[in-house]
Amino acid sequence: MGTPPLSFGPFLFLALLEGTVMAAVLALTAVGLSLVFGVMRVVNVAHGEFFMLGAVLAWFVTYYLPLPPALGWIAALIIAPLLVAGIAALADVLVLKRLKYDPEATIVATIGLLYILQQAALTFYGPDARPVPAPFDLRLQFPWFGYSGYKLFVVVAAAALLGGVWALMTHTKAGLIMRATQVDTEVARAFGINTDRVYTATFALGAALAAVAAVLIVPIQQAHYLMGGDPLLLAFIVVIIGGLGSLRGTVVAALIIGLSDGVISMFFSPTLAKIIATLLVALVLVFRPQGLFGARA
Amino acid sequence: MTKDLIGLSPSRRAVLKGAGAGLLTAGFVAPVWAQAAPIKLGFQLHRTGIGAAYGRWYERTAQAALKVVNDAGGINGRPVEIVFEDDATDPKRGAEVVEKLVSQAGCDVIFGPLFSHVVIGTAPRAAELKVPYLVCSEGYHVASGMLNRWTMQPGITDVRAQVSSMAPWVMANLGKKVTMVFPDYAFGHDHRDFFSAAVQAGGGEVIAQIAIPPTETSFTRYLPQIPADTEVLYHVMVGPAVLTFVKELGEFYGTGARPQIFGFIDSLEAVDTASPGLEFLEGTHFWEGHNRVKQADASADETAYRAAVGVDDNGASVSDAKDVSTYAHMFSVWETLHVIKAGMEASGYQSPADRQKFVEAVEAMTSMPASLAHVQGDKMFNGKTHQVFGHQFISKVEGGKLMRVHTTSLEDGMYPDGVDYTTQSF
Amino acid sequence: MTDGAKSWALHLGLIVALFAAQFFLPQYHATNLARIMVLAVFAMGYNIAFGYTGLLSLGHALFFAAGMYGMGLPIWQLEWPALPALIMGLVAGGGVAAAVGVLALRTTGVSFMIVTLMFAQAGYLTILYFNTYSGGDEGFVVDRAGRMIGGMDLAADTPRYLAALGLFAVAMLGCLVLVRSPFGRVMVAMRENEERSRMLGYNPFAVKLTALVVSGIYAGAAGAAYGLLFGYVGASFAQIQYSILPLLYVLLGGAGTVIGPFLGAAAMFYLIDIASSYTSAYFFVVGAALVALVVFAPKGMLGTLRDRGLKWLP
């Protein structure tokens, strides 16, 4: 075996950097799901497809709008979430409402939605993975290795976005209404809250958050019509580990999973590291089924 | 069953009703062939699923080859049509699709699949149905003896031969201490095993092997595992995340010192080498099964092939310069269809009753001279292992374009037979 | 006729009809039906856990794959004959289900979904990790010589059909007996109200674990049979979509009905098969059909029939 290029310190530093970025990505993809899950108690299997749609729309916007990369990207950050939110609201009104949010029926319906959205992306966007340029091009040169400045921007943006969602939920009337609906739909309705509209708004907001996450993340990945699968799984794990509907839990879980995945893979063969990380997640739930921060089972 | 009319929007399916576009008017078949029933070829297509980026180009190449064959009079005087059926790049559906193409559509032979797991999952059913199954997969599964008498790979060199033939040049020109980065599944393991063996045989050394799990979407954290004394970094990745991998490699090394880099073009199939973030590939080397960028010495056949498939001199679609083809692999579909024609003509193929004679005729093939039918170059077919051997190309990225710097000989890639299918029963 | 007699007549009638079908169906559809019957066994197993006991698992691909590899690896690596290998597949399916169940049944609801999902994902990655022995993602072919049971060549069409039908018949009648037994009623009680059943003196953990193990044996049998009848074992069968498929079959056909899983599997199979004949965008058709189904018949085909008068359907 040859000499490794990095001594342990820098190696660990890189693993932590990558882990933090992964945690940010996880938190971003999970926050919308957490919201929908928390308020509506609905398992939205199509959440990953809203994420995919956000990335694909970002490609369309940056490709067809004659703008410099930074402006094109900002345009995508506005347009993609709005369109995705519209699609989600439509799905809620046309389908989920008619199912009365019955858990099992919702799963089948959102699987159906997943097929429809994937097919739409394949038909109109195609099977290729396509790059979306980052809004800025910055490469940080550390003494031992180089690193993408944009990745660190994603971490900052994730923190800002999560802070925004937290403020929305705790400091605004809309947030109060959503929390009231979450705690007890019947009582909320008795107090004159139009819970139908709250549900539609929540579902649309959750989808929009997925799209925002996608626009942020797509410059460090690519837009591809099958890209929704992995975020869906990861987001589910983060939401459950964090505890249903707990924003703080979602963030902590994202950090734990992101960092441990990065560090475990330093010591084991990558595939083995994935197996261990997956089993750890399962065991956390087995011995703490309500998640880390959940109040109830 | 999906059916496309030549010349109409390629995104819609159509029965490629035999005749070339010249003979085909308003959808009815020209009278020349009014009496002859067409020969039906079933195409197992990765239209959806993880192989879709390849599948789209495989379909286009198949249609182009079909038109050429029909324009030249079809096969045994009969028009040819192709029935495309999507296998979703899934082995279970793959077997069902072959069933459908054979039993329901009445196809004479099946060809076209690329992904190894689909091929291996389908081959048993093809043998049970006793239908010739010609794969375009570059996997070592055919020549290793894992499959059966009905499964053949006459259109593309397998990965074992590809990597073995590369190794001497890499060691002579780039360096002898190699670090390999490959996906942690069968395709990557073939690279790992056969390239390592060839490097050792040539007096070099593989100093690190970095296997990347198939579910990975970010690679930066694996890059520190590349030893500092690496002379050559050998990379091969497949799937939608490949571009990320190459970009992150660029970010990691930046403008600092880096080893020589040798990659398999699989890492960048259907990707524009001039994409943002790929600038650092300048001066690195790639294996190519077929040169994406039209080379100065390109033959007339090569030019005709590009025109027929609709690919420009940079390897992208003539209608959309951003739509880059899977050029290093898709020639296999073209050549396989021509092998089908040659095999059917040699065996006097008339009906499914002649399928066994067809297989025997292909097994009897040996040298395949360069021609419009074998547009990638001359080849040698080994009837015992059902595997063809062709030239391989090494290209260097110069000015964002892949320019050929080396061509291997057929002998470079040959290895002892692992099986003799001709001794197996049908 | 009493409800019991009607129900026996229906199920035995289905078996007779399926037996007769092979004589007049074209070969293509006969082989499809063989596949559907094996997949229906998988779905019936899923239904025992989900439809009757209320355990919504997203990890049944693990049990299916355990059966498939439990059968395939002994044939491939140790050259076992087919029959013991098949039994090994059943045992593997049940054994893995028991191991998963002991841990996962400490959780309920969405946590149970995620835990089973995680175990299945770990199982899939394990198959890839041990690729030297398992064939990894490429999988391996089950040799034709290894696919003989008592002189029956399972690679030939008629024996294959009969073997699939045999397995299906045993599984369906077993399921019918199970759900009509006192234990079957306890399973349903567990689904409807776990607390009350606990107060009536039942041990919910034991009941659910038993149901999950039976479910795992069904899934394992289906996986082993699929590998044996169609000659291929591969890691793609351990992926998440093979956990979602039986859920879909069951919900389509009708959760908590004995024939529902078979109808669901058949409907889903032909939905894809027929839609793909007309359009390349066939997933769109499949998606739209699923959405329409839950909107207009949320209890699945048989569940809706049962609500509309056929109350005796088991």
* Helix (H) or strand (E) run with residue B367 in it: strand B367-368
What is the pLDDT of chain B when averaged over all its residues? 88
pLDDT grade, residue B92 (50/70/90)? very high
Q: Which amino acid is at A168?
A: L
pLDDT of residue A242: 83
* Count of pairs with CB atoms under 8 A, one residue in A, one in B: 112
pTM of the model: 0.89
CB count in 10 Å sphere of residue C62: 32
Question: Which residues in chain C are closer than 8 Å to A283, comparing Cβ atoms?
Answer: 103
Q: Quote the DSSP letter at residue B294.
A: P
**Which tens digit of pLDDT belongs to each residue from C99-123?**
999 999 998 887 888 899 899 999 9
What would the mean pLDDT of B63-79 be, rounded to a whole number?
95
**Structure tokens belonging to residue C269:** 């199979």
Asked if the Cβ–Cβ distance from B270 to A262 is below 8 Å, we say no
pLDDT of residue B15: 40
Checking if the pLDDT of C144 tops 50, the result is yes
Asked if the Cβ–Cβ distance from A108 to C293 is below 8 Å, we say yes
Asked if the Cβ–Cβ distance from A2 to B221 is below 8 Å, we say no
Contact C225, C163 (CB under 8 A): yes
Of B85, B121, B184, the CB nearest to C128: B184
In angstroms, the CA B244 to CA A52 distance is 16
Residues contacting C218, CB < 8 A, separation 6+: C41, C42, C44, C45, C46, C48, C93, C171
Of B86, B104, B186, the CB nearest to C138: B186
Question: Which residues in chain C are closer than 8 Å to A109, comparing Cβ atoms?
Answer: 290-291, 294-295
In angstroms, the CA B191 to CA B172 distance is 19
pLDDT of residue A294: 63
Contact A91, A203 (CB under 8 A): yes
Dihedral (C-alpha) B108, B111, B116, B122: value to the nearest 10 degrees? -20
Per the model's pLDDT, the better-predicted residue between C39 and B245 turns out to be C39
pLDDT of residue A5: 60
Residue A278 Cα, gap to closest chain C Cα (Å): 6
Q: Which amino acid is at A126?
A: G
Checking if the pLDDT of B222 tops 80, the result is yes
pLDDT grade, residue B17 (50/70/90)? very low
Contact B159, B191 (CB under 8 A): yes
What would the mean pLDDT of C28-51 be, rounded to a whole number?
95
Tell me, yes or no, if A139 comes closer than 8 A to chain B by beta carbon: yes
In angstroms, the CA C212 to CA A10 distance is 48
Residue C131 Cα, gap to closest chain B Cα (Å): 7
pLDDT of residue C66: 98
**Structure tokens belonging to residue B266:** 């699989």
pLDDT of residue A222: 85
What ipTM is given for this predicted complex?
0.89
Question: Subunits touching C (CB < 8 Å, at least 3 pairs)?
Answer: A, B
Of B230, B244, B247, the CB nearest to A2: B230
Of B184, B218, B223, the CB nearest to A22: B218
Question: Subunits touching A (CB < 8 Å, at least 3 pairs)?
Answer: B, C
pLDDT grade, residue B21 (50/70/90)? very low
Tens digit of each residue's pLDDT, chain A (297 residues): 445 566 777 888 888 888 888 888 889 889 888 888 888 888 888 999 999 999 999 999 999 988 888 899 999 999 999 999 999 999 999 999 998 888 778 877 898 999 999 999 999 998 888 888 888 888 888 877 788 889 999 999 999 999 999 899 888 988 888 888 888 888 888 888 888 889 999 999 999 999 999 999 999 888 889 888 877 877 887 887 887 777 888 888 888 888 887 777 777 777 887 788 788 888 888 888 777 776 543
What would the mean pLDDT of B172-181 be, rounded to a whole number?
94
pLDDT of residue C111: 81
